[in-house]
Amino acid sequence: MSSTADAPRPPGRPRSVRADEAIIEATLDLLAEGSTIEAISVEAIAARAGVGKATIYRRWSGKDVLLRDALRTLKGNVPQPAGRSVRDDLITLVGAVGHAIDPRAERIMPCLVPEVNRSPEHHALYQNIIEPRRTVMREVLQRGVRDGELRADLDIDVTMAMLTGPMLIQRVMRWHPDLDETTLAEKIVDGVLGGIRAD
Amino acid sequence: MSSTADAPRPPGRPRSVRADEAIIEATLDLLAEGSTIEAISVEAIAARAGVGKATIYRRWSGKDVLLRDALRTLKGNVPQPAGRSVRDDLITLVGAVGHAIDPRAERIMPCLVPEVNRSPEHHALYQNIIEPRRTVMREVLQRGVRDGELRADLDIDVTMAMLTGPMLIQRVMRWHPDLDETTLAEKIVDGVLGGIRAD
Minimal CA–CA distance to B172: which of B83, B77, B107? B107
Q: Residue B6 pLDDT more than 70?
A: no
With contacts defined as CB-CB under 8 Å, which chain B residues touch A188?
158, 161-162
Q: Residue A5 pLDDT more than 60?
A: no
Residue A12's pLDDT is 66
Q: Residue B1 pLDDT more than 60?
A: no
What integer best gives the mean pLDDT of chain A?
A: 90
Say whether B196 and A193 touch across the interface (CB within 8 A). yes
d(CA B171, CA A168): 13
Fold of B76-194: Tetracycline Repressor; domain 2 (1.10.357)
More confident residue, B2 or B124: B124
| pLDDT band for position B199 (cuts 50, 70, 90) | confident
With contacts defined as CB-CB under 8 Å, which chain A residues touch B119?
none
Residue type at A30 in one-letter notation? L
Arithmetic mean of pLDDT, B135-145? 96
Q: Residue B9 pLDDT more than 60?
A: no
Residue B84's pLDDT is 87
Burial of A152: CB neighbours in 10 Å, binned 0-12, 13-18, 19+: exposed
Q: Which residues of A65-100 are buried (b: 16+ CB within 10 A; e: fewer)?
A: ebbbbbbbbbbeebbebeeeebbebbbbbbbbbbbb
Minimal Cβ distance to B113: which of A110, A148, A187: A110
Tens-place pLDDT, residues B77-129: 889 999 989 999 999 999 999 888 888 988 888 888 888 888 888 899 889 88
Say whether B168 and A172 touch across the interface (CB within 8 A). no
- Give the CATH class of B15-62: mainly alpha
Lowest mean pLDDT among A73-77, A167-171, B91-95, B173-177: A73-77
- Ranges of each domain in chain B: 15-62, 76-194
As a whole number of Å, the CA-based R_g of chain A is: 21
Burial of A112: CB neighbours in 10 Å, binned 0-12, 13-18, 19+: buried
Arithmetic mean of pLDDT, A131-154? 95
Minimal Cβ distance to B177: which of A127, A165, A172: A127
B108 to chain A: closest CA residue: A114
Given CB atoms, is B32 within the 8 Å cutoff of chain A? Answer: no
| pLDDT band for position A182 (cuts 50, 70, 90) | very high
Q: How many CA atoms lie within 13 A of B184 on its CB side?
A: 32
| pLDDT band for position A118 (cuts 50, 70, 90) | confident
Arithmetic mean of pLDDT, A133-155? 95
Tens-place pLDDT, residues B20-70: 999 999 999 999 998 888 889 999 999 999 999 999 999 999 999 999 999
Arithmetic mean of pLDDT, A79-102? 93
Residue A100's pLDDT is 81
Minimal Cβ distance to A110: which of B114, B161, B197: B114
Closest-CA distance of chain A to residue B162, Å? 5
Distance of CA B25 to the CA centre of its chain: 16
Lowest mean pLDDT among A125-129, B6-10, B44-48, B92-96: B6-10
Minimal CA–CA distance to A188: which of B159, B175, B193? B159
Within 139-168 of B, beta carbons closer than 8 Å to A belong to 148-152, 154-155, 157-162, 164-168
Minimal Cβ distance to A161: which of B111, B161, B170: B170
Lowest mean pLDDT among A44-58, A67-81, B45-59: A67-81
Angle made by CA atoms B116, B118, B122, in degrees to the nearest 5: 45
Q: Residue B16 pLDDT more than 90?
A: no
CATH, range A14-61: 1.10.10.60
What is the value of ipTM here, to two decimals? 0.85
Residue B114's pLDDT is 85
Within 72-131 of B, beta carbons closer than 8 Å to A belong to 106, 110-111, 113-114, 116-117, 123, 126-127, 130
With contacts defined as CB-CB under 8 Å, which chain B residues touch A36?
none
What phi and psi values does residue B70 have, to the nearest 5 degrees? -65, -45
- Residue of B127, B142, B147, B158 to mutate for A, most A C-beta atoms under 10 A: B158
With contacts defined as CB-CB under 8 Å, which chain B residues touch A111?
114
Residue type at A11 in one-letter notation? P
Minimal CA–CA distance to A46: which of A67, A61, A24? A24
Closest-CA distance of chain B to residue A160, Å? 9
DSSP string, B25-80: HHHHHHHHTT--TTT--HHHHHHHHTS-HHHHHHH-SSHHHHHHHHHHHHH-SPP-
With contacts defined as CB-CB under 8 Å, which chain A residues touch B117?
106, 110, 173-174
| pLDDT band for position B13 (cuts 50, 70, 90) | low
Q: Residue A7 pLDDT more than 70?
A: no
Minimal CA–CA distance to B91: which of B199, B191, B159, B188? B188
d(CA B118, CA B125): 11
Cβ atoms of residues B169 and A172 within 8 Å: no
